[in-house]
Amino acid sequence: MSSQIAPLNPTVDPYQHLQIALNADGTITRLREVPNTPPTPDPSHPTPVLSKDIPLNQSNNTWVRIFLPREALDHNSSTKLPLIVYFHGGGFILYSAASSISHDHCANMAIDLHVIIVSVEYRLAPEHRLPAAYDDAMEALHWIKTTPDDWLSDYADSSNTFIMGGSAGGNIAYHAGLRAATEIDKLEPLVIRGLILLQPYFGGSQRTQSELRDNDPILPLSVCDLMWELSLPIVDRDHEYCNPKVGDGPQLLEKIKLLGWKVLVVGCDGDILFEHQIELVKLMREKGVSVVSQFGDGGYHGIDMFEPAKTKALHVVLKNFILSSLVA
């Protein structure tokens, strides 16, 4: 780790890059028109993956989108499919479970991995700073364990559940996992088998070499810093929500070890967050957690969402990890 002060790229205006405007009351106006995809719950629709939205907490305007592969309906099989609880990325401040990029990502995973996915619409910062998203994540887990929804009760194997997220969603999945590990008895019959963290969004006050290079086209350093400023309860990149090595997190990893969960961390060395992800893997291994890590050469933050060949390769990694973690 380097303690140098990184020279922020003066050519990158983080507000312009993110297409947001800061309002006087601390909220933001999201100027980018992000395409959304509606759910397709009708079984007569020819789509290979059905989807539907169900309210989670109407006072918080949170909900879940469930993805059900058509094969689950077509096969006269008593074998239920593993369940993934998924959290989208967007630096805690952007996107939705309905955003087309997130919807398509989940639909493709449901097909390729042969899983059912519950994608959680959590509250965004800065209107709802962390830990609001973590609270929503836990509310979703408790909802899943009690819901009478027929898609989940008939086709999902809740005894083989994985918590997963990409970028900021990876951070949410990690913190939801830490919380869930402390109240595992309250989540039954939901049984968590592992965490899947795709280029998870972590940081710290000390600059890393990747941050000093500041050459990630998707996530320049100034943009990364701004999203932390807008999402953390206090502006401190050594806050436990940002830096997994501080606070109660390291101690809570002991519970994950005892539960026998497996953790998959996927990234690449072209990601500005690369060293933070490496440090997370080291921390978990030091605590005795069973960790599988896969880091590629080059790339950039979010590459698996934007390049189809990388997406397909990622799905192979995910499928192998899930199969190796299942309990019959």
- The residues annotated as belonging to the active site are 167, 271, 301
Rounded Cα gap, residues 107 and 315, in angstroms: 12
Q: What are phi and psi of 276, to 5 degrees?
A: -65, -35
Q: Which residues contact 162 (CB under 8 A, 6 or more apart)?
A: 82, 83, 84, 85, 192, 193, 194, 195, 196, 322, 325
SS3 250: helix
Give the C-alpha separation, 239 to 300, whole Å.
25
Query: Strand pairing of 49-57 and 20-22?
Result: unpaired
Alpha carbon distance 180, 112 (integer Å): 27
- DSSP class of residue 80 equals P
Residue 39, judged by CB atoms within 10 A of its CB (0-12, 13-18, 19+), counts as: middle
Residue in this structure with the two tokens 């401040």, named with its chain if needed: 93
148's tokens = 């009478």
212 CB neighbour count, 10 Å cutoff: 15
**Distance between CA atoms of residues 157 and 190, nearest Å:** 9
Burial of 36 (0-12, 13-18, 19+ CB in 10 A): middle
Contact 273, 204 (CB under 8 A): no
